[in-house]
Structure 1
Amino acid sequence: MARTRPERSSGVPERDHVAAHERIAALEGVRALAITAVFVYHLGAPWLPGGFLGVDVFFVLSGFLITRLLLRESSGTGRVDLAGFWLRRARRLLPAVLALLAVIAVYAATRPADQKLPLRQDLVSSLFYVANWQFVAEGRSYFSEFQAPSPLRHLWSLAIEEQFYLVFPVLVVAALAVIRRFRRRGRLLVAVTVIIAFAGSVASLGFLYEESDPSRAYYSTHTRLHELLSGVGLAVLIPVLAKRGAALARPLAYGGLAALVVLFALVDDRGPVYYHGGSLAVSVASAALVGGLALRPDSGVVARLMSSRPAVAAGTTSYSLYLWHWPVIAILTPESIGVSGPFLVGVHVAVSVVLSVLSYKFVETPVRRGSIKGFRLGAARVFPIAGAALIALSAAAFSGTSDAKPEPDYVRQSEGLIVPRGADPRRPVIGLVGDSIAASLQRALAEEARAYGHTLVSAARPGCGIGSSLLLDETGHPFARAATCAERTPRLQDELVRRYHPRVVLWHSARDRTDARVDGRILKAGSAEWTRHRYADWDAALGRLVREGARVMLLLPAWSASGSGGSSCGGEFNLDPAGCGRAFVTTEHLRRLYTDWAQKNSNYVTVMDLGRQVCPSGPPCPDKVGNISIRDDDVHFSSSGAHLVAPHIVRAALTALDRAKGSPR
């Protein structure tokens, strides 16, 4: 994709609620390390590609602290007070996140209608701590390539932590009951169950991984379970390890920290290493660091570093920083505040820190202490207040986004061909193939085709090129849906011809301008080898489409509405993408390739210049023609824009078909 980095962030565990003298100050430094890595990653630093691994560190730390807390309570009182546990979690976590969601609800109400629906979905799923499963369900949305990232995308990790906090204490109570009842056999049963769950989690992360869309592997609760269980296992083993604490503490702390630093610097967020063992390595390294500090929190350079005053301060406010830093980055963009580069980074850091400190001091701390100006916050008050807040914020999310536009046609995927409702199969068929821009024209083309006594049948798919190539984004990984597109596109084109025998096929794809992977090799966009492969791919697609006598109308893509596309590299008229380090050719470059290829296949292909229809003076294209808005965004046609150009397209296609009748092929 025009790369939108996967929006990934940390889930910050709350500090455990034991007596102050039992807290380990150095573990605040672990939180500081993890949140700093995540923050730097989100700021886009290229030298820390693995900063997203801070989430793994937080999950391990959460598993350790919560298990230690529950085991100490059971050992000291003979029972686990589940209501008390959940009350402490609610007082610790809910106030700050509800404050954030209230701010985002107001922000959502001010957004344009076409941006409100995803914000509403994120608000509601975040309120009920199921954001991670929403992101699994939606996958890495193709729409996100052309939209600003959600300011709530980072709450997927908090959702996993809350799910863990809700279920895990119940499982601990059950496990302790089994151990008391069956003793040695009970311990063995619990240990085997945990090992199976741990191994299943590691295996599922690798099994579900897809390079073009790792969403299901990355966001699922069960694929993260091994990280939480690493902390759980560490908490159980600490009493055993404590017998050799002095000998083990420093090697564990030094080795764990060194391994994490290396992993932060090297691991790619979409490459296979993380999913096929890298996450396990991070879990082990995190457990080693936490274990070393827990065994001897006052010994060694690492312990002193992690318990230093700045580290403890950063760790103490890490939950607030986690909540606020990503919305600040997502909302304060160069477009919204007019600054960029290092100054923008400074703004992000300063605003995030200020909001974090305010949240910690005035929202989190008073509620966590159990009272606000003498108003006690026991279970009888906290849970009803929390329920009322959830209802109020849900209502605000819906009322503030009541005018949200539905998801446009050009981001919807379907398994088969798209045939307009009520279409008459006896009418001659016009076919449509290509990308999401073709799909954005779909409805208007169908109406225009009907006016000429034809039926439009579409094989166009968002995110797909015209052939079977595996297309890559700027990171060298396949676009979202790229693997599905490479397999499905030729099949749909075959089905279009076999079932509907189109007279003419409309062809549009601006997607075919990126790097491609062929037999494990990356072909750089614009290179001679890449160009030959593009032509071969188009030749194969043409063979599928015209085998029963159809004519192809090739629509030359229109230039974007945003400008020259990078003046420092010559803009649209730069025909040397390698010289700019780009992973794609410009629209103008692609237009020239299409024109050259069409001339070589003129017996089957007619060219229509869609760019000249939209912007007859050349790039950049205007946002409007007269009073008609042409685009929904910088790329896709709006409904009014599609209806403006559709008559020209259908008329030109049928005219070309009439001219081609009787000509030799």
Structure 2
Amino acid sequence: MFAAPARTERRFRPEVQGLRAVAVLIVLVYHLNPSLLPGGYVGVDVFFVISGFLITSLLHREVTAHGRVSISGFYVRRVRRLLPASTVVLVVTGAVAFAVLPGSRLTDTAWQLVSSAVYVENLYLARQAVDYLAAEVPPSPVQHFWSLSVEEQFYLVWPLLFVVWALTWRWRRSTGALTAILGTVFAASLVCSVLLTGGGDAGAYFLPTTRAWELAAGGLLAVAMADRELPELLRRPLGYAGPVAILAAAVLYDDGTAFPGWAALLPVLGAVAVIAAGRVPASAPLRSAPARWVGDVSYSLYLWHWPVIILLLAVTGQEQLSAVGIVAAAAASLLLAWATKVWVEDPVRDRRLVPNVRHAAVVVAASVLAASAVGGASLLRVEREATVAFDPAVHTGPAALDLASAPAPAALYPPPVTAEDDIPVLYDDDCHASHDDSDPSDPCVYGPEDAEQTVALLGDSHSAQWFPALARLADERGWRVAVFTKSSCAFTDTLIRRPDGGAYTECRQWNRGVVDELGALRPDLVVTSSSVMNGPVESVSAEEDGQVIADGMSTLWADVLEVSDHLVAVRDTPRTRTDVTECLEVHGDDPSACELPEDEAFTRDDPQEQAAADTGDGVTLVDLSDRFCVDGTCPAAIGNVVVYRDSHHITSTYVEMLTDDLTEQVDAALA
């Protein structure tokens, strides 16, 4: 994708240009409509192999011709060929995003612009992938720069390996040491990829350590083909097998495939086979003029297609492109790619406008500053839109439900542009366990050590969201609160699925550990709530799955009641639109445009209700649904207060304003 093709006839391989075309087109189709080619993301893996092959070929020729590697020359070429086009795309995309995206998406987009400009976008996304609070962050128009970041990180290390090899080349004239070095990188990275992917690491997809083996595969092929070609008898079948392997992965894989890991071997080996086959009858389509033209613009096409799609969706308000939108996005992407190649890539390369390290440094600095300036403008816009102060006279929240008439419309609080950050303090205190945690033996405890009463809060994030109200109640009464909450972990003894589909064994271990901890803590009151986003591993049907989870809840609740006299289970809160904060930004003057009918907000039964009935004495089920929904609808804002921070979590502001309602129910349970 990203290393520009060599231009002398001796080095030019038209089938590689055609392979670029295949790679970028399957990525393009996948992004236009994933159902058309559900595994089209493997095109990126094909690009990695191509880049590894071309860069290794270049460095290998340099060592064998001159006995050394010019590190400065290498990076000047990379800057000259890659940075001008990427800078243009980042700046234009950032400017258009500033104009058309809602403020709630601009903060993330701004930081991704800067991350992309300094080629750490993959690390940014890897961190975001394991951040539970970022689970519903919409895609940014520059997140596809993650793959360029992987390659640039590869370019930081790869030439240094050839510097080491050059020292042995001068006296041995052998590629054995180089093959051993590259083979070690390949094997170590592949093992890392398999282990992290198989272990369910959400960030594994973006890490350079899990992707380096794909580039190394192309590098090993370059070394093997430096002085020889495979026999014709082998090249012919490889010429057919390679494209079949790539297309099979693009068709058979989907978003549920554990990737990269072992699964990435199919497209990677397919790309290796195509390059190794070279000029054979099967590669004739790859050497055709149309394929070579698409290959020529593949770098710019990759850069442009994703922001075109994302920004078009934002402008039209669609979640998926229509048939007309697909054609328009594809045409615009191709036109922009051609224009960028003709007016940016070619002039900079052919006229050698970046002749030395000094000029390259200036280009790098200018690129980072330009992207940062656009990102900074977005952050300033968000800061301006977020300047709404809380006013109890107008921000009445749930109290408005008890009034004869609604309060006069006012600026919403928290501002929709920052509502997603209105979270309980326990997240900042690192008191909410992640998916991988399984040991609850060191809980966070709030309040005085000599408190007369102790409350335990346990469950998943839908329990954690009640912390502001519980903390305020505890503060008023001098109680102590111990927190045992964990992401996506409903308080049930049933083995449920992780968000990625695997068995959530850490959740079951955590819950059983919580019961043991409560035995030592002996709280006066236990408060819990859960939202079962993922059903049991042994799924049967929606109705039976709910009963199985309820049985698991009842089992644990009975254990809890052995060490505590009172357990309060808070019925799960309603769900709303996935774009609720964006909707409120657009319809701030009329929040009713963002509400949902109550039957859509509560689409399934809460197993806690059945568990409460099964457990019996000692359990109080608290239902505050009437503080979220009224007259058959569930508003997105009540009393000028934003209710939701995403599609299924409540803002801390609104929860804290429900303290009196929760207190009344808790007092009833204690009585």
TM over 0.5: yes
Task: Give the match's secondary structure for 2:34.
Answer: coil
Stretch deviating more after TM superposition (220-229 or 99-108)? 99-108
The offset of 1:627, in angstroms, is 1.8
The offset of 1:188, in angstroms, is 3.5
What code does the residue aligned with 1:451 have? E
Select the residue among 361, 367, 372 that pairs with 2:348: 367
> In the alignment, what sits opposite 2:399?
none
> In the alignment, what sits opposite 2:189?
201
Tell me the distance in 2 between the aligned counterparts of 1:438 and 1:116.
Answer: 29
Cα separation, partners in 2 of 1:188 and 1:334, compared to 1, 3 Å: closer
1:393 to 2:371 alignment: yes
Task: Give the match's secondary structure for 1:485.
Answer: helix
Identity among equivalent positions (%) equals: 28
8 Å contact from structure 2 (residues 128, 134) kept in 1: no
> In the alignment, what sits opposite 1:543?
558
What code does the residue aligned with 1:517 have? V
Gaps of 5+ in 1: 1-11, 575-585, 659-665
Cα separation, partners in 2 of 1:428 and 1:648, compared to 1, 3 Å: same
Tell me the distance in 1 between the aligned counterparts of 2:448 and 2:64.
Answer: 72
Select the residue among 572, 589, 613 that pairs with 1:599: 613
Select the residue among 283, 288, 292 that pairs with 2:273: 288
Task: Give the match's secondary structure for 2:620.
Answer: strand
Question: What does 1:399-478 correspond to in 2, within 5 Å?
Answer: 400-401=378-379, 403=383, 407-409=421-423, 413-414=432-433, 419=444, 423-472=448-497, 477-478=501-502
8 Å contact from structure 2 (residues 453, 523) kept in 1: yes
8 Å contact from structure 2 (residues 67, 169) kept in 1: no
> In the alignment, what sits opposite 2:401?
none
Measured against aligned partners, the alpha-carbon deviations of 1:559-598 in whole angstroms (never above 9, x if no partner) come to 22339x9xxxx98759xxxxxxxxxxx834223x433332
Tell me the distance in 2 between the aligned counterparts of 1:306 and 1:124.
Answer: 36
1:82 to 2:102 alignment: no
Tell me the distance in 2 between the aligned counterparts of 1:50 and 1:312.
Answer: 23
8 Å contact from structure 2 (residues 182, 219) kept in 1: no
Cα separation, partners in 2 of 1:422 and 1:101, compared to 1, 3 Å: farther
Task: Give the match's secondary structure for 1:458.
Answer: strand
8 Å contact from structure 2 (residues 189, 209) kept in 1: yes
Tell me the distance in 2 between the aligned counterparts of 1:37 and 1:494.
Answer: 52
Measured against aligned partners, the alpha-carbon deviations of 1:502-559 in whole angstroms (never above 9, x if no partner) come to 222222212x1533213xxxx045142x233212211222134222123222222232
After TM superposition, what 4+ stretches of structure 1 lie above 6 angstroms from structure 2?
A: none
1:325 to 2:305 alignment: yes
Question: What does 1:242-391 correspond to in 2, within 5 Å?
Answer: 242=229, 244=231, 246-272=232-258, 274-293=259-278, 296=279, 299-300=280-281, 302-333=282-313, 336-338=316-318, 340=320, 341-370=322-351, 378-391=356-369
8 Å contact from structure 1 (residues 504, 553) kept in 2: yes
The offset of 1:178, in angstroms, is 1.0
Cα separation, partners in 2 of 1:20 and 1:443, compared to 1, 3 Å: farther
> In the alignment, what sits opposite 2:583?
none
What code does the residue aligned with 2:652 have? S
8 Å contact from structure 1 (residues 212, 477) kept in 2: no
The offset of 1:432, in angstroms, is 1.9
Tell me the distance in 1 between the aligned counterparts of 2:306 and 2:45.
Answer: 17
8 Å contact from structure 1 (residues 211, 271) kept in 2: no
Tell me the distance in 2 between the aligned counterparts of 1:422 and 1:559.
Answer: 30
Measured against aligned partners, the alpha-carbon deviations of 1:482-502 in whole angstroms (never above 9, x if no partner) come to 45434324323542x235432
8 Å contact from structure 1 (residues 367, 377) kept in 2: no
Question: What does 1:36-47 correspond to in 2, within 5 Å?
Answer: 36-46=25-35
Task: Give the match's secondary structure for 1:516.
Answer: coil
> In the alignment, what sits opposite 2:409?
none
1:62 to 2:62 alignment: no
Work out the number of aligned pairs and report it.
Answer: 606
Tell me the distance in 2 between the aligned counterparts of 1:458 and 1:504.
Answer: 12
Tell me the distance in 2 between the aligned counterparts of 1:202 and 1:133.
Answer: 19
> In the alignment, what sits opposite 2:535?
515
Select the residue among 641, 644, 652 that pairs with 1:628: 641
Question: What does 1:145-160 correspond to in 2, within 5 Å?
Answer: 145-160=135-150
Tell me the distance in 2 between the aligned counterparts of 1:365 and 1:551.
Answer: 73
8 Å contact from structure 2 (residues 161, 181) kept in 1: no
The offset of 1:120, in angstroms, is 4.0
8 Å contact from structure 1 (residues 557, 587) kept in 2: no
Task: Give the match's secondary structure for 1:147.
Answer: coil
> In the alignment, what sits opposite 1:661?
none
Cα separation, partners in 2 of 1:524 and 1:332, compared to 1, 3 Å: farther
Cα separation, partners in 2 of 1:119 and 1:231, compared to 1, 3 Å: same
Tell me the distance in 2 between the aligned counterparts of 1:105 and 1:165.
Answer: 26
Gaps of 5+ in 2: 387-417, 581-595
> In the alignment, what sits opposite 1:502?
523
Cα separation, partners in 2 of 1:210 and 1:277, compared to 1, 3 Å: closer
